[in-house]
Amino acid sequence: MLWVFYVELSAMLLDVRDLEVDVGGHEVLRGVNLSMGESEIHFLLGPNAAGKTTLLSAIAGVPRVSVRRGKILFDGRDVTFKPLYERARIGIALAYQLPPELVGVSLRSLARLLSDRFNTAPYMEKLAKMLDLEHLLDRESFRGFSGGERKRAELFLISLMRPRLALL
């Protein structure tokens, strides 16, 4: 069973309607409905294999999941069959459970790329300090990071993108 909890009400940002999702030809989600407003914080709780990651992947447009039925509306626009990169452009960001190590790419260079693209360069160093990542900025992204360092680094990078919807 999958439980969805939320706090704070505001204008509608995400509306998932009667969603059915397959992964590898197997039905994983059926009849999922979820509404989220701007500035709301939601928590998905459930046991292993309940479909939490699958739901977030479907919302973000990850190719390994296949929407069979239903709709995903983001800010009133139907994004059900839009690719991941289009959803990212309009403000949907997904944090992965295990972010990949990026050999040869420092966390700082990746952060600069994002901060230049999203006009967040003035905040980069301050955010790194706030998340206690300064000592990791010149290391290869995620390589040899502890679990906590990986999550903080991922939150750092996602924050530099200023997404309207962060799926963590």
Task: Report the alpha-carbon distance of residue 52 to residue 12 in Å, rounded.
Answer: 21
pLDDT value of position 39: 86
% of the chain surpassing 70 pLDDT? 94
- Domains in the chain, please, with CATH? 3-92 (3.40.50.300), 102-167 (no CATH)
Radius of gyration of the chain (CA): 17
pLDDT tens-place string over residues 2-47: 555 554 455 789 999 999 999 999 999 999 999 999 888 888 999 9
pLDDT value of position 10: 53
Task: Report the alpha-carbon distance of residue 153 to residue 110 in Å, rounded.
Answer: 11
pLDDT value of position 96: 84
pLDDT tens-place string over residues 53-63: 999 999 999 99
Task: Report the alpha-carbon distance of residue 74 to residue 143 in Å, rounded.
Answer: 34
Task: Report the alpha-carbon distance of residue 75 to residue 109 in Å, rounded.
Answer: 32
Task: Report the alpha-carbon distance of residue 29 to residue 122 in Å, rounded.
Answer: 41
